[in-house]
Structure 1
Amino acid sequence: MNPSRGPERLVRAGQWLIALLFAYFLIQVGGALIADLPLLSSPPRLEQFLDQPAKTALEAELQPLESRREALQEQAERLGERQQQAQARYEREKASFDNWRSTRSATAQSDQNPEVIARARQLDGLLQQQQQLSGEQAALAARLRQVQASIAVPRQQLQQLQSEAQGRFQAARQRAELRAFGIRLLLVGPLLGLSLWQFRRFHRSDQWPFVWGFLLFGLFAFFVELVPYLPSFGAYIRYGVGALLTFLVGRALIRWLNGYLARKQQEQAAPQEQRQHTIRYEKALQSLARSQCPSCERSLPRREGVLPNYCMHCGLQLQHDCSQCGALHYACFPYCPSCGKPA
């Protein structure tokens, strides 16, 4: 049961559309304004707090050392490959020599044969080559350790330089976050307060679409443009503000509920005719269509689709008989739906 006429519903929908469009364009203007603020568009960068001359000097000192280290590592890799090849060749020659000696022993030929001596000397040469390569590897490893020790000092200094710059950068970023939040708070705080005050005072006026649109704009600015930028130092501020807002909103809800219950008690204590006159016609029809009492707003049971004549919760008369034709109708009707007699 909708008490509004067709044109009224159309105009009401258009008014809500105006409210949403008004809020949308205000949000776009506010977002563009905040984005163009110079103190919010240039956050600090790490490079700004790094000692560039010292960094350049350390990098210049490290570059030849790093090149030298890479060259030594490549040389060590090549030397290792040669060492592996020499060892593999020695093992093949030694295995061949052992097999050859076993064969000569089986044929009772002398071990002092010049060929035996020549092949033994060849194996000694291969063994000496391995030892020489091992010595070169040891010397190369010592030079590589020396270069790495030389690299460690400027690299540690460079890390210390970057660590100090990181500390200054973190402090500057926290200050920038506080400054940005303060600027947003100076813009959004009064805006939200004005929108709430305006809504409380003018939301029932004929300019209510603009009031609602401005309220939506204020709420969007608070929850989107302000709350996500709340600085967090160990999460104390963020959760502390959240707890404070929860406490304030909770107290406001408790006060509203207590006031609502007090008003309902006063309404139920008033005479029957006075209670009926204080209920708006549209609200009464909407409540009855939902099977609710227009006064106490509690649910009403229907019997065979018909509401009771009185509310069993607060005693409000819901239906009565017409004094002229005797037809039963809602007590909120200004005219009898059967004979048209004014109620």
Structure 2
Amino acid sequence: MLSPSRGPERLVRAGQWAIAVLFAWFLIQVGASLIADLPLLSRAPQAAQFRPVVALQAVQNRLEPLQEQVRRLQEQLEALNRRREVVQETLRRERQSFETWRATRAATAQSDQNPEVLQRARQLDARLEQDRLLAEDQRQLEQRQQQLQGRLAPLRRQQAELERRGEQAYARALRRHEWIAFLIRLGFVLPVLALALHLFRRRRGGEQWPFVWGFLLFSLYAFFVELVPYLPSFGAYIRYGIGALLTYLGGRALMRWLRAYLRRKQSEQQAPQQDRLQQIRYERALQTLARRQCPSCERFLCSGEAPMPDFCMHCGLRIQTHCRVCDHHQPVFYPYCSACGAASELHTSQPDAAAGEDAPSAALG
């Protein structure tokens, strides 16, 4: 395989990419800290700021006496229930005892009109009357409690409505704060992204290309990653919308480049053979030949171990030639014969042929 680059060149190119990545990493760290610490136009709202304290206090002042009355009634009902449970339990035991005693008296044929029987019956009637009175008191207390609950209900609804309005006002202020925070950060990131795209378009082929690539990687990371923690619910539309726009512009640029590339190749194939050979850079010729492709039309010439043809069967470009001194067969782009070291015909026809060992790339660049 033909290698178009010297060893130090490959090391320098790898180092340049390492510099681009490292430069982007440091910019990302600085950008992350800067985005997190950007000053805001307003402080984050607090929920307590939007509670209608005065109105809520007025409602609370009306609620507290009624709630106190309800609490006292509830305590009275609980005490009354305990008393009634005691009375009902006593009545149950006395009735059971009375029924047992009456059964015994009936077995001995003693009269039910016995004064002792009447006395015990009157005791049971007294217990029943006591339970009835307690039940009546319980019903009255429950009615009073229902009345108080009816008076409490509109006040509680009013209190809930005031709380709801305060929460809505807080939610609106919070959304407004999110807008401000996001737009401040977006106002910082968008110009950085625009500058990175401009530099990439204008300077990506210059000597400072590692820094251009590093700055582009930083701006893309800042826009698509660093803004994520600050995106409000609507922020994804902005991020994905700009992503779709960049994809569209990139696709359009790619199609324009393809059309220009095809037109350039078509015009190259119409040029004379010698002009076509001189327009092909030495490094690019070695790269394409290493892939077994034509340096001009970049179509495949052969595959596997098949010999390289003398001419491209697609565009007619001369690929191989014979040394004019020793008749050695080799690629036409070699500036010197690999068998005898004589300068090739293409190399000697260039004005910079005597420039030394760097002449190949200068003459064919």
Relative to the length of structure 1, the TM-score reads: 0.76
Inter-CA distance 38–334: structure 2 relative to 1 (3 Å threshold): same
Q: Which has the larger radius of gyration?
A: 2
Q: Once structures 1 and 2 are overlaid, which stretch shifts more, 176-185 or 213-222?
A: 176-185
Shift of 1:200: 1.4
Match of 1:46 in 2: 47
Question: Quick one: distance in 2 between partners of 1:318 and 1:151?
Answer: 101
Q: Deviations over 1:72-119 (max 9, x none)?
A: 334434433443443344334333433433343343222223332233
| 1:169-193 alpha-carbon deviations (Å, 9 max, x no partner) | 2332333233233322322222111
The match for 1:202 is 203
- Partner of 2:59, secondary structure, is helix
Are the counterparts in 2 of residues 264 and 296 from structure 1 also a CA contact under 8 Å?
no
Contact 1:310 1:316 in 2 (8 A): no
Question: Match of 1:23?
Answer: 24
Q: 1:171-230 CA distances to partner (integer Å, 9 max, x unpaired)?
A: 323332332333223222221111111121112222222212211222122223446655
CA distance in 1, matches of 2:248, 2:41: 33
Residue 221, structure 1, aligned to residue 222, structure 2 = yes
1:253 equivalent in structure 2: 251
Question: What is the match of residue 347 of structure 2?
Answer: none
The corresponding residue for 2:155 is 154
Partners of 1:78 and 1:300 in 2: CA distance: 106
Q: What displacement does 1:302 show?
A: 3.7
**Structure 1: any 5+ residue segments left out of the alignment?**
none
- The code of the aligned residue for 1:184 comes to R
Q: 1:188 — aligned with what? A: 189
1:260 counterpart SS class = helix
Aligned-residue CA RMSD (Å) = 4.0
Residue equivalent to 1:178: 179
Cα contact 2:50–2:169 (8 A) shared by 1:
yes
Q: Distance in 1 between matches of 2:121 and 2:65?
A: 47
What percentage of residue pairs aligned between the two structures are identical? 46
CA distance in 2, matches of 1:313, 1:80: 110
Which AA in structure 2 matches 1:190? P
Provide the secondary structure at the position in 2 that maps to 1:30.
helix
- Give the residue type in structure 1 aligned to 2:113: Q
Cα 1:171/1:41, change in 2 over 3 Å: closer
Q: Greater shift after overlay, 333-342 or 245-254?
A: 333-342
Tell me which amino acid in the other structure corresponds to 1:264. Answer: L
Given that 2:299 and 2:314 are in contact with CA atoms closer than 8 Å, whether structure 1 keeps it comes out as no
Return 5+ residue gaps in structure 2 as ranges: 345-365
Are the equivalent residues in 2 in contact too, given 1:79–1:137 (CA < 8 A)?
A: yes
Aligned partners of 1:148, 1:142: CA distance in 2, in Å? 10
Moved more, 129-138 or 192-201: 129-138
Note the 1:1-343 alignment, pairs <5 A.
Answer: 3-39=4-40, 42-226=43-227, 229=230, 232=233, 239=237, 242-243=240-241, 245-246=243-244, 249-264=247-262, 266-267=264-265, 270-271=268-269, 302-303=303-304, 309=309, 320=320, 323=323, 324=326, 326=328
TM-score computed with the length of structure 2 as normaliser = 0.72
SS of residue paired to 1:270: helix
Contact 1:267 1:275 in 2 (8 A): no
Change (3 A) 1:300 1:239: farther
Paired letter, 2:47: L
